[in-house]
Amino acid sequence: MPKPHEPHPQKLQELQEQNAQLHQAVRSHAVVDQAIGVVIALSRVTPEAGWNILKETSQHTNIKLRHVAELVVEWARTGQLPSDIRTELERRLAHAQPPQTHE
């Protein structure tokens, strides 16, 4: 039996699992934010529109948002993006482009 000042082994395990999940969530959030930045830089849209573009790309390719975000960030670095994601992302970006002004 644990001493009064020592956590119960089951509780300790639960806390360690929660800690690992929180760390993963922070990492996922960071990569999604980076991918939104890539989308914003490419298409000059708002952060909300960038989020929607990533979300819709994820939904239409049936690939988890975090993974789409990782691939988009990698694409910004290497120029390589799987064709299914590239096609859907280009479609979404084309719809999100601000109207061209003719001066």
What is the number of other CB atoms lying within 10 angstroms of the CB of residue 5?
A: 5
Exposed (0-12), middle (13-18) or buried (19+): which is 40, by Cβ within 10 Å? middle
Q: Where are the domains of the chain?
A: 26-95
Report how far residue 99's alpha carbon sits from residue 70's, in angstroms, rounded to the nearest whole number.
29
Range 24-42 average pLDDT: 85
Report how far residue 77's alpha carbon sits from residue 74's, in angstroms, rounded to the nearest whole number.
5
Residue 5 has pLDDT above 70, yes or no: no
Q: What digits encode the pLDDT tens for the residues 87-96? A: 999 999 888 7
Residue 79 has pLDDT above 90, yes or no: yes
Q: What digits encode the pLDDT tens for the residues 40-57? A: 998 899 999 999 999 999
pTM: 0.71
